[in-house]
Chain A
Amino acid sequence: SQTIHQWPATLVQPVGSPLSLECTVEGTSNPNLYWYRQAAGRGLQLLFYSVGIGQISSEVPQNLSASRPQDRQFILSSKKLLLSDSGFYLCAWREAYEQYFGPGTRLTVT
């Protein structure tokens, strides 16, 4: 069966520091992968998606970037965090017409 992992689970970072969040999927190959952000416990906003290694599409202009160095690895990064980057970050993968989510990372920028 497929599983999706995210780490770290919680992160507190100062403004201006770099960021790296990792997502890995097991039990499937060449999945579509997604990064979402959920601010203040409300709706999810799609940040990036990837249909294959090295293929990244950005949905909104922002301080973040994404990379997919391996088939089942998706990384969310920033060179310098802003206060507005605080939130809950969710990674998801797609099977047919359904998406399944990882446990998420809670990021607090201080």
Chain B
Amino acid sequence: AQTVTQSQPEMSVQEAETVTLSCTYDTSENNYYLFWYKQPPSRQMILVIRQEAYKQQNATENRFSVNFQKAAKSFSLKISDSQLGDTAMYFCAFMKEKASYGKLTFGQGTILTVHP
């Protein structure tokens, strides 16, 4: 079974600064997908970024980028130029490529607060 660990329950950052959220996972699979989801106070889950394990290049979506270290089973999210609207809970999630029916395993989340 896969496990996903987010060791930072809460983090804070000043507006316009950069923050990195950590995530580690445990799996015996070689092919899989990793995700970061954002849950703002509205509680709507929003997909932020996706990383395929077979890709060496780190995924980037505007101000959001990841540092994917497959051997270390580490998947961190970097938010650049933080904005007040980035305040949310962030979840790291794992999906096996095969025979998983698309099931996601989530970490426990990190609450990020962006201060003006």
Q: How far is A6 from B46 in the complex, measured between Cα atoms in Å?
A: 16
Do the beta carbons of B43 and A88 come within 8 Å of each other?
yes
Q: What are the interface flags for B8-52 relative to A under an 8 Å C-beta threshold, 1 for contact and 0 otherwise? A: 000000000000000000000000010100000011111100101
Chain A residues, Cβ within 8 Å of B33: 97
Determine the chain B residues whose CB is within 8 A of the CB of A34 once the complex forms. Answer: 102-104
- Residues B102 and A94 in contact, CB atoms below 8 Å apart: yes
Identify the closest chain B residue to A106 (Cβ): B43
Q: Is A104's CB under 8 angstroms from B106's CB?
A: no
Q: Which residue of A is nearest B35, CB measured?
A: A98
Once the chains bind, are B104 and A41 in contact (CB under 8 Å)?
no
Identify which of residues 61-116 in chain B touch chain A, using a CB-to-CB cut-off of 8 Å: 89, 91, 95, 97, 101-109
A98 in contact with B50 (CB, 8 Å): yes
Contact A97 B50 (CB under 8 A): yes
Q: Which residues of A contact B44 (CB under 8 A)?
A: 101, 103-104
Cβ B101 vs Cβ A57 within 8 A: yes
Set of chain A residues within 8 Å of B102, measured between Cβ atoms: 32, 34, 49, 94, 97, 99
What's the tally of chain B residues with a CB closer than 8 Å to chain A?
Answer: 23
- Cβ B109 vs Cβ A42 within 8 A: yes
Closest Cβ–Cβ distance, residue A51 to chain B (whole Å): 6
Residue A44 CB within 8 A of the other chain: yes
Q: Find B101's partner among A51, A92, A104 (CB 8 Å cutoff).
A: A51
Q: Tell me the complex Cα distance, A80–B45, Å.
A: 28
Closest 9 CB pairs of A and B: A101-B45, A94-B102, A43-B108, A44-B106, A43-B106, A97-B33, A32-B102, A42-B108, A104-B43
Which residues of A line the B interface, CB within 8 A? 32, 34, 41-46, 49, 51, 57, 59, 88, 90, 92, 94, 97-101, 103-104, 106
Mind listing 23 A-B residue pairs with CB under 8 Å? Answer: A32-B101, A32-B102, A34-B102, A41-B109, A43-B107, A43-B108, A43-B109, A44-B91, A46-B103, A49-B101, A51-B101, A88-B43, A90-B45, A92-B45, A97-B50, A97-B52, A97-B97, A99-B102, A99-B104, A100-B47, A101-B44, A101-B46, A103-B43
